[in-house]
């Protein structure tokens, strides 16, 4: 009982709750359906106990399932690593180059960002992934990327099993006009399986085939995106910061030469920062290897410049209609309903008379920060998200220059 009480702590139970989310439920359901159907169909198509090929096929199938689940659960439960609450740099002079997080009551270390879902500052945050119901960051980046590689490979193997099972079971029963298609299946027909391939089995196999092919394409594309940023020693957020840096330099014609500080020069060196033989990434998540022409705070200084530029180029709007914060509000028009932003970023409810500082937008939606009263500002509250464009009107400024500068950013 003592061992059980030490193992089942509040923190462990809190982590297990990550499974109670639509993302893990769907992901694990797809893995379970594809794995179960592949095992059953492999028994029907290629009995593993009679031939060497059947045994290898069955062992590989089980191996995919184990590796996929191992990396999936590690990505979920190991987590990205969080900046300690109230963290401050050892050298107090470096604080001027860092952003302060009012929620965590501490400074954001280089490459860290505050996640609204996790409500913590995440080390080397790449993104918050709904499929693992956790952030992808410093500690679990390798596990997450390995999962993205193994899932398409396992689903491709399963898809081959599904196709061959349907072919071998239906070829002799139904004439498809495939007179020219001949596959020698004598080796795998030595054993007649006990499980019949009935109509429900065919429907289940066809459904699993669709899931396997869809997963292979979708997750394979995500793997390509992740490897692209890893080989440059970036995260998805840092790629966006770099693009905004180029936009800021071009907009103001400052003549700066922005160098991304964490690119070590070769893809192999960048690759080894994430993937190691021990499974743990290099670094402590606070201090990083940087380009010879840069220093630890090159990127954080750029972020502060972009934050100041964002305040300058934001546009003030005032709510003229109430909005309840619905994701797809039908009452605000069909275009607003169908053109809702495809993102997990929040929507903010509005009451007529609210003031919002908009920073970006589309033709039908806008994104910005709601201007709060002094009491909320002291506490550190911040309300930002998307809202329908038709619910607000632009506030009038004294100078036309401020209007034109803001319109370039938002409209």
Where are the alpha helices (H) located in 47-129, listed in sequence order?
52-77
On whether the CB atoms of residues 82 and 121 are closer than 8 A, the answer is: yes
How many residues are recorded in the chain? Answer: 411
On whether the CB atoms of residues 374 and 309 are closer than 8 A, the answer is: no
Q: What is the largest CA-CA distance in the chain?
A: 87
CA 155, 159, 165, 166 dihedral sign is positive
On whether the CB atoms of residues 208 and 166 are closer than 8 A, the answer is: no
CA–CA distance, 376 with 103 (Å, rounded to integer): 12
Going through 281-377 in order, the beta strands assigned E by DSSP cover 315-319, 355-361, 365-370
Element at 127 (helix H, strand E)? strand 127-129
Beta bridge partners of 386: 347, 367
CA–CA distance, 41 with 304 (Å, rounded to integer): 57
CA–CA distance, 411 with 402 (Å, rounded to integer): 14
On whether the CB atoms of residues 388 and 347 are closer than 8 A, the answer is: no
Which of the residues are catalytic? 129
Give me the residue label for tokens 């201007």.
371
């Amino acid at each position: 009982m003592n061992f059980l009480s030490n193992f089942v702590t509040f923190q462990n139970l809190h982590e297990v709750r990550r499974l109670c989310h639509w993302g893990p439920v769907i992901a694990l359901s797809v893995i379970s359906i594809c794995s179960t159907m592949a095992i059953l169909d492999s028994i029907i198509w290629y009995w593993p106990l009679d031939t060497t090929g059947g045994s290898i096929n069955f062992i590989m199938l089980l191996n995919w399932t184990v590796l996929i689940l191992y990396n999936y659960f590690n990505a979920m439960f190991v987590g990205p690593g969080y900046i300690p609450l109230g963290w401050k740099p050892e050298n107090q002079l470096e604080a001027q180059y860092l952003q302060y997080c009012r929620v965590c009551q501490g400074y954001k270390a280089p490459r860290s960002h505050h996640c609204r879902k996790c409500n913590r500052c995440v080390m080397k945050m790449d993104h918050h992934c709904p499929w693992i119901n956790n952030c992808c960051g410093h500690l679990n980046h390798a596990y997450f990327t390995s999962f993205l590689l193994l899932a398409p490979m396992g689903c491709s193997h399963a898809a081959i099993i599904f196709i061959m099972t349907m072919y071998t079971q239906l070829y002799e029963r139904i004439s498809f006009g495939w007179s020219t298609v001949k596959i020698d299946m004598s080796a795998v027909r030595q054993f007649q399986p006990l499980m019949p391939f009935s109509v429900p089995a065919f429907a289940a196999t066809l459904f699993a085939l669709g899931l396997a092919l869809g997963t292979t394409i979708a997750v394979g594309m995500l793997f390509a995106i992740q490897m692209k940023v890893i080989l440059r020693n970036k995260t998805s957020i840092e790629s966006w910061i770099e693009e905004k840096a180029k936009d800021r330099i071009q907009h103001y014609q400052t003549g700066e030469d922005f160098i991304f500080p964490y690119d070590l020069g070769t893809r192999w060196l960048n690759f080894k920062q994430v993937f190691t033989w021990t499974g743990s990434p290099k670094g402590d998540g606070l201090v990083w290897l940087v380009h010879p022409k840069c220093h630890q705070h090159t990127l954080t200084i750029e972020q502060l410049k972009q934050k100041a530029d964002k305040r300058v180029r934001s546009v003030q709007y005032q709510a003229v209609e109430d909005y309840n914060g619905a994701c797809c509000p039908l009452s605000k028009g069909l275009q607003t309903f169908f053109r809702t932003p495809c993102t997990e970023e929040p929507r903010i409810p509005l009451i007529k008379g609210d003031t919002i500082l908009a920073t970006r937008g589309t033709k039908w939606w806008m994104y910005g920060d709601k201007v709060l009263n002094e009491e909320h500002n002291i506490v550190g509250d911040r309300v930002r998200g998307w809202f329908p464009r038709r619910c607000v009107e632009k506030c009038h400024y004294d100078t036309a220059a401020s209007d034109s500068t803001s319109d370039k950013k938002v409209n």
